[in-house]
Chain A
Amino acid sequence: MLPGGKRWIIGGPYLWLLIFFLLPFIFVLKISFAEAELAIPPYSSMFDWTEEALNIKVSFANYIWLTGDELYVVAYWNSIKMAFFSTLFCLLLGYPMAYAIAKAPPHLQTTWLLLVLLPSWTSFLIRVYAWMGLLKNNGIINGVLMWAGITDEPIQMLNTNFAVYVGIVYSYLPFMVLPLYANLVKHDATLIEAAYDLGARKWGSFFKITLPLSKNGIIAGSMLVFIPVVGEYVIPELLGGTESIMIGKVLWQEFFNNRDWPVASALATIMIGILIIPIALFHRYQNKESQS
């Protein structure tokens, strides 16, 4: 490529991402130090010209407010906890699935992988919605349970943490399976043969060879689930109850219901602070995987 052409090729996407992806975070950070006002836009400005001098107004009130109120701390803790366990469940279900695809006859692998990915191409909203109908008190699962005589009265499933877990695992499972499959399919089968040859049984060679070698895939898949789930809004909103307070939902309420943009910004800033290390980790392993 010509040097001049190179500049244009880099410039286009670079500029777009700088303006529309990076720059917004600076505004989030800035507004998180502002105060809510009844104005348009509904926050105080940071820079102010009064008495012919530049006044810079930085308020830490939002952060003090957030760390002081137990509701927010619980919401953060809850989000991390639920993201952690749903990642674990996705891994426990997704790993054997990815393994099965990678070990399937080559001509079947694409079809099986497509079977796993296909649901994620249909609307995410509608897949979450499908579980509302299944988990309701007068829904199908309760109907079957009562018909089978397992329970006499409906079990409360919708609007519980259980429903949120089901919804998250259901929606995010393909994101776990895809990187794991991509990793497992590259494994050299002779390594397993070598392990057998040296006396290892099937489970032994799985835990000593296959599992450690799929580390990068496990990290990539787990981050692909964990990070977005920490900020998940739709699933706890539709399937969760009062107990399932997650930070995404709190942020939404602060922004849309309370119109408190500065507090919402502070919530987002702290969330980014929590997620920055997982994101960096994901970035590193993503690069490692694509280069190997």
Chain B
Amino acid sequence: MLIQYLVRLRIPIVFFIGFLSLSIQAAEVTKEQIKGLDEQVQDIKKDVLALTSELTRLEEKLLFPSNTQVSLFVSLSGDDDFVLDSMQIKLDNKVIAQHLYTFKEIEALRSGGVQRIYTGNIKTGDHALVASFIGRAKSGDAYQRSENFTVSKVVGPKFVEIQITGSSASDQKVTFKDW
């Protein structure tokens, strides 16, 4: 029926069949298509990474000028039996950061990664820092510790590492390292 109609319209049947097969081809996914798109995705990743790098620096310059900047980092070392649940940081008697840890984050800390828990601005001089954590041993026993430290802010940016260390889960303590 369709063929008769095409003949009546004088459309070459060969051309029509060719068109049909083309449209079927278009629906197929080829390796070249996948590869081509992958390359385009990689280009976009490159562009976004470059932009993110520049914007992060702009953000830091705008929000945390070096003369007032203070950054606090958390690291974890010692007994693998200890599971860190949460951290709370107080600066000048104000809670400035709280964090609940996921399994992946704890593993990253255990592997040697360092978490930047807070970046902010403070004026030059001495500031009271209190770092507290809640954690537990794999047996289920919960532990809580808190330590004080004086952050002496001078003109340049200030970095303080809050280290959670201990030879056993019950022995975990907070120490500070002034960078």
User: Are the chains A and B members of one assembly?
Assistant: no
Q: Which residues of B contact A (CB under 8 A)?
A: none
**Interface positions of A (Cβ within 8 A of B):** none
